[in-house]
Amino acid sequence: MKPILILATAAALSPLAYGADNSTSYFIRGATIHTMAGRDISNGSILIRDGKILGVGENLTAPADAQVIDAHGMQVYPGMIDSFTDTGLTEIEMVRETSDNSELGKFNPQLSAWMAVNPSSEHIPVTRANGITASVPVPNGSLIAGRASMIHLDGWTVDDMDLNPTVALHINMPVIRTRTFHFPEGATERPFEEVHKDYLKELQELNKFFDDAHRYEKAKAANEPGFETDLKFEAMIPVIDGKVPVMITAMREREIRDAIAFADKQKLRMILAGGAEAWKVAAELKARNIPVVLRPTLSLPEEEDDPYDKPFTTPGELYRAGVLFSFGSYDAQFSRNLPYQAAAAVPFGLPHDAAIAGVTINAAKIYGMDKKVGSIEEGKIADLMITDGDPLEEQTHVKQLFINGKQVDLNNRQLRLYEKYKSRP
Amino acid sequence: MKLFGALLCCSCCFAASTVIQNATVMTVTKGTYTGSIVIENGKIAAAGPNLPVPAGATVVDAKGKWVIPGIIDCHSHIAAESINEGSISVAAMVGIEDVLNPEDIAIYRALAGGVTSANILHGSADSIGGKCELIKLRWGKDAEGLKFQGGPPEIKFALGENPKRRGESGFGTGPQNLRYPATRMGVEDVIREAFTEAKAYQASWKEYEDKKAQGKVAIPPARDLKLEPLVEVMEGKRIVNVHCYRQDEILMILRVAHDFNFKPILQHVLEGYKVADEIAASGATASTFSDWWSYKVEAYDAIPWNAALMARKGIIVSLNSDDAELMRHLNTEAAKAMKYGDLTRDEALAMVTINPAKQLHVDHLVGSIEPGKDADLAIYDGDPLSTLSKVTQVYIDGDLYFDRDKDLAGRPEIEKERKLLITKAADRAKQDAKNAKKDTDKDKDKEKPSR
């Protein structure tokens, strides 16, 4: 029961076995605990055992076999969850061979992001070093892009990392785009009527695919003669049965409204992703309990004449409208900056607590994972971080990180390069 | 006459004098204090804790607010259209000056993020790109009015993956119209060949000037607009910005710079941390990203400690955006250098203020809050190094160019105008449809047999 002190830098931590087992019990004491489930606990303790949070509160005593971590003056938060990421699916953006996020074909409900996550990706240790413990890799191909998964950012294999292979079916809403830009050729324009026609046609195809899935399900249930298994439609059954939500990416008001109408018509549970103009549809989203996985707050406004701060004010507007939302990086290289996507909304009207919730418990709620992750509560998976300050501030350091009850190594490729060249003679 | 003089003096004091009071002022170069900044004739007249208010001055109460020098982005492409002359490898004759677009909304958005000056660069398609333009974000002025007065001219070079794309887009458009170079070896050669040519050109002018001075018959060489800027580089009159990533190409350009007598600003320079000693010894400076990585192969070894490590080795380092969105929060990009590398608050803020000013040779004009410098200031409602603060006002040359309250107050008017324009466009579309129908009806009439 020897207390170990929090060390000054991540690099100074004792080397930990990658993906070590979680048989060690930990007792974190003296920290201010931001549970994200009720009030903060100052000078609180957390007991971690077998990967779970066994206790959290003010008056816990350390069991004899637990490793005590003295975290006086430190803050403890739930590990952050990136609600929409490319981490694990893409290593180097411009090298196609390293990217597995975008399949060919319009309808791919059978695809699952989880299985293509590369556990050896250098992005994983880099990302978690800033307190991200779980993320949602999302296939991002054509119309029905595939199934989003929730993974832990630690593990020897994808099986170790798996939290839920299917948290949503990702659909890219058709888009009305009259102007497209190709580097370096420049912009090409098409008349609105033409683009609108394509848009309606794609919507129709999407509806037809769902209708066909219903017919497939009926045929299967009726064991109709000549019935043949179709992997695409098999994957659709939990979706049309309402067990798996659809996550529809739509940015503009028209597309968001059409997405809602589509989900209504097909009687689907819907999550809105992107949602640049979700603020225009906030009342409808609230009325239908449609949560939003917001595109990065640090984005440019959609329209030239939109207020300069529109992306910064949008989270606050959704908050005041009572819409459940979370933040996503929509990226791999910047996934570690997830807390700053939340922070950017705070000076523009989002309460600080709601910003933290948007990268922790609300992300878990949106994907139906809040029984397991997203807050520091008894019985939940022990995903948490110990910091020297507010995680929304750039200057804050993550001192220790726990994933699945294991103390995770904060070292990574970038830190190694830094250490190596810092000591270059 | 006396009276006129007095009136003139009075009116100019009245019009040109502003005092920002009760603010926490981060001067960057002279510490942080709580007090005032006196602005006269577009310049900082005084800065300190207890300053008298000049008669007739406009007083801005900034209690609870923070003031920093206007942010300088050392690498930007806003306010410019068509930035890559990708067809040739040496494009020193083209210039951003000719494509400045003062109506780019990105100017206003960056202004609202505390940026007052930006180094507008060409793209990186060519080994030797074109002439760059340092601007002030004087939103509302014309292209000429954007230009930063008092800085030396510049040029952009590019190394590595982009210039070696052989003129292709880099996304597999196929091997049409290939042009040299296709390797890093070729990139160096292109630059050396160009400078070798420029040297001969320089000599031909010198020969002509010498002959003329001696009263001999002399025919002036034909002007070469491609080589002229390179001669200016060798004569120390033009700053070179070099887009670079890998350590090998960084060392390559330092050798070239040594041979042709210039000290470049290394742009991106993501592997600068690997050769920081060499960069420091060369006198080159570095302008980098805070934490971008992995977007291309040559960016895979990028680390967020790059800026701090190079700074610790004595290199003048700035943090830039290269992006219209990131440009809006360079203050917190600077804060990342505190997280990664433990820089002090002033050292971090210097990377987006005085350091880029030094790199661009305009630190006698901008980059810190000191008497005599341009009154380019950004006011925040909290600590400028916090993600939880926002810009409330921005001054350039002492004029208020961004005011959040005014921006908010103006929004209903913009919304009204937007609705009006939409209505007008819809009416016009209806009218056009009607006219089109009339025309077809007429045509039908024409088709009827005449009686």
Q: Are B183 and B189 in contact (CB under 8 A)?
A: no
d(CA A407, CA A18): 10
CA of A5, closest CA in chain B: separation in Å? Answer: 21
- Helix, strand or coil for residue B421? helix
Task: Note whether A421 contacts B: Cβ–Cβ < 8 A.
Answer: yes
Chain B residues within 8 A of A122 when measuring between CB atoms: 294
Token pair 């990664």 is at which residue? B340
Residue of B105, B122, B292, B387 for testing the chain A interface, max A β-carbons within 10 Å: B387
Task: Note whether B303 contacts A: Cβ–Cβ < 8 A.
Answer: yes
- Helix H or strand E encompassing B239: strand B239-244
A201 shares a domain with A315: yes
Task: Note whether B384 contacts A: Cβ–Cβ < 8 A.
Answer: no
AA identity, residue B301: D
> Is residue B434 predicted with pLDDT exceeding 70?
yes
Angle between helical axes of B247-259 and B184-213 (0-180°, round to 10): 10
pLDDT the model gives residue B178 = 79
**In angstroms, what CA-CA distances link B347 with B29, B240, B308?**
9, 24, 9
Q: Any idea what the CATH number is for the domain that residue A7 is in?
A: 2.30.40.10
Structural domains of chain B sorted by starting position, each given as residue range(s) with its CATH number in brackets: 1-69+368-429 (2.30.40.10), 71-366 (3.20.20.140)
A266 shares a domain with A163: yes
Cis peptide before B181 (omega within 30 of 0): yes
Q: For residue A14, what pLDDT band results from cuts at 50, 70 and 90?
A: very low
pLDDT tens string A311-329: 999 999 999 999 999 999 9
Closest chain B CA to residue A87: B294
Radius of gyration over alpha carbons of chain A, in Å? 23
A389 shares a domain with A258: no
**In angstroms, what CA-CA distances link A421 with A51, A76, B276?**
36, 32, 9
How many Cα neighbours within 13 Å face the side chain of A366?
Answer: 34
pLDDT tens string B438-449: 777 766 655 555
Which class for B4: exposed (0-12), middle (13-18), buried (19 or more C-beta within 10 A)? exposed
Task: Note whether A340 contacts B: Cβ–Cβ < 8 A.
Answer: yes
| Angle A73-A77-A79 from CA coordinates, rounded to 5° | 135
Closest chain B CA to residue A297: B325
Q: What percentage of chain A has pLDDT greater than the value 70?
A: 94
AA identity, residue A209: F
Angle between helical axes of A231-240 and A192-221 (0-180°, round to 10): 90
- End of a domain among A372, A388, A415? A372
Of A94, A298, A346, the CB nearest to B388: A346
Chain A residues within 8 A of B86 when measuring between CB atoms: 184
Q: Are A171 and A249 in contact (CB under 8 A)?
A: yes
Closest chain A CA to residue B386: A393
Tell if the CB–CB gap between A414 and B293 is shorter than 8 Å. Answer: yes
d(CA B266, CA B356): 12
Residue B388 structure tokens: 């939880």
- End of a domain among A372, A396, A416? A372
With a CB-CB cutoff of 8 Å, which residues 1-60 of chain A face chain B? Answer: none
A184 shares a domain with A144: yes
Task: Note whether A228 contacts B: Cβ–Cβ < 8 A.
Answer: no
pLDDT the model gives residue B87 = 83
d(CA B40, CA B25): 18
> Is residue B10 predicted with pLDDT exceeding 80?
no
Task: Note whether B272 contacts A: Cβ–Cβ < 8 A.
Answer: no
pLDDT the model gives residue B448 = 53
CA of B150, closest CA in chain A: separation in Å? Answer: 30
pLDDT the model gives residue B9 = 40
A366 shares a domain with A220: yes
> Dihedrals φ, ψ of A135, to 5°?
-155, 165
pLDDT the model gives residue B177 = 63
Predicted-complex ipTM score: 0.93
Tell if the CB–CB gap between A352 and B388 is shorter than 8 Å. Answer: yes
**In angstroms, what CA-CA distances link A34 with A56, A82, A360, A376?**
11, 18, 11, 8
A151 shares a domain with A260: yes
pLDDT the model gives residue B14 = 44
Q: What is the mean pLDDT of chain B?
A: 92
CA of B283, closest CA in chain A: separation in Å? Answer: 20
- Residues contacting residue B26 through CB under 8 Å, at least 6 positions apart: B32, B66, B67, B68, B345, B346, B349, B369, B384
Q: Are B77 and B83 in contact (CB under 8 A)?
A: yes
A190 shares a domain with A126: yes
Q: For residue B433, what pLDDT band results from cuts at 50, 70 and 90?
A: confident
Domain span at A390 = 1-79+374-425
Of A123, A394, A417, the CB nearest to B294: A123
Q: Are A294 and A329 in contact (CB under 8 A)?
A: no
Chain A residues within 8 A of B126 when measuring between CB atoms: none
Residue A381: CB atoms within 10 A of its CB come to 25
pLDDT tens string B29-62: 999 999 999 999 999 999 999 899 999 999 999 9
| DSSP letters spanning B30-54 | S-EEEEEEEEETTEEEEEESS-PPP
Largest CA distance in chain A: 77
Q: Any idea what the CATH number is for the domain that residue A241 is in?
A: 3.20.20.140
Q: Are B403 and B139 in contact (CB under 8 A)?
A: no
pLDDT the model gives residue B429 = 87
Q: What percentage of chain A has pLDDT greater than the value 90?
A: 90
d(CA A389, CA A398): 8
Chain A residues within 8 A of B385 when measuring between CB atoms: 394-395
A248 shares a domain with A110: yes
Task: Note whether A301 contacts B: Cβ–Cβ < 8 A.
Answer: yes
| DSSP letters spanning B116-149 | EEEEE---SSSSEEEEEEEEE--TTS-HHHHBPT
Residue A191 structure tokens: 């008349």
pLDDT the model gives residue B13 = 40
Residue B283 structure tokens: 């006198």
- Nearest of B293, B343, B306, B300 to residue B28 by alpha carbon: B343
Chain A residues within 8 A of B273 when measuring between CB atoms: 417-418, 421-422
Tell if the CB–CB gap between B112 and A183 is shorter than 8 Å. Answer: no
Of A185, A334, A397, the CB nearest to B339: A397
Tell if the CB–CB gap between A185 and B169 is shorter than 8 Å. Answer: yes
Tell if the CB–CB gap between A417 and B297 is shorter than 8 Å. Answer: no
Tell if the CB–CB gap between A301 and B109 is shorter than 8 Å. Answer: yes
Closest chain A CA to residue B340: A395
Q: What is the 3-state secondary structure (H, E, C) of B325-339?
A: CHHHHHHHHHHHHHH
- Identify the weakest region by mean pLDDT among A6-10, B16-20, B113-117: A6-10
d(CA A398, CA A132): 10
pLDDT tens string B196-243: 999 999 999 999 999 999 999 999 999 999 999 999 999 999 999 999
Q: What is the 3-state secondary structure (H, E, C) of chain A?
A: CCCEECCCCHHHCCCCCCCCCCCCCEEEEEEEECCCCCCCEEEEEEEEECCEEEEEECCCCCCCCCEEEECCCCEEEECEEEEEECECCECCCCCHHHECCCCCCCECCCCEHHHHCCCCCCHHHHHHCCCEEEEEECCCCCCEEEEEEEEECCCCCHHHHEEEEEEEEEEECCCCCCEEEECCCEEEECCHHHHHHHHHHHHHHHHHHHHHHHHHHHHHHCCCCCCCCCHHHHHHHHHHCCCCCEEEEECCHHHHHHHHHHHHHCCCCEEEEECCCHHHHHHHHHHCCCCEEECCCCCCCCCCCCCCCHHHHHHHHHHHCCCCEEECCCECCCHHHHHHHHHCCHHHCCCHHHHHHCCCHHHHHHCCCCCCCCCCCCCCECCEEEECCCCCCCCCCEEEEEECCEECCCCCHHHHHHHHHHCCC
Tell if the CB–CB gap between B294 and A393 is shorter than 8 Å. Answer: no
Query: How many cross-chain Cβ pairs, A to B, lie less than 8 Å apart?
Result: 115
A159 shares a domain with A261: yes
Closest chain B CA to residue A350: B388
d(CA B348, CA B345): 5
Tell if the CB–CB gap between B291 and A424 is shorter than 8 Å. Answer: no
Q: For residue A259, what pLDDT band results from cuts at 50, 70 and 90?
A: very high
A113 shares a domain with A95: yes
Average pLDDT (A242-268) is 97
**In angstroms, what CA-CA distances link A42 with A35, A48, A178, A376?**
11, 18, 55, 14
d(CA B247, CA A234): 52
d(CA A96, CA B276): 32
The DSSP letter of residue B285 is E
pLDDT the model gives residue B447 = 53
Average pLDDT (B287-294) is 98
Token pair 């695809």 is at which residue? A111
pLDDT the model gives residue B438 = 79
Tell if the CB–CB gap between A92 and B414 is shorter than 8 Å. Answer: no
Q: Are B311 and B347 in contact (CB under 8 A)?
A: yes
> Is residue A111 predicted with pLDDT exceeding 90?
yes
pLDDT the model gives residue B443 = 63
Q: For residue B84, what pLDDT band results from cuts at 50, 70 and 90?
A: confident
Tally of structural domains, chain A: 2
pLDDT the model gives residue A179 = 87
Q: For residue A181, what pLDDT band results from cuts at 50, 70 and 90?
A: confident
pLDDT the model gives residue B86 = 81
pLDDT tens string B159-208: 999 999 876 654 444 555 678 999 999 999 999 999 999 999 999 999 99
AA identity, residue A403: I
pLDDT tens string B345-362: 999 999 999 999 999 999
pLDDT the model gives residue B11 = 38
> Is residue A17 predicted with pLDDT exceeding 60?
no
A127 shares a domain with A1: no
A326 shares a domain with A210: yes
pLDDT the model gives residue B316 = 98
Calculate the CA B278 to chain-centre distance.
26
Q: For residue A9, what pLDDT band results from cuts at 50, 70 and 90?
A: very low
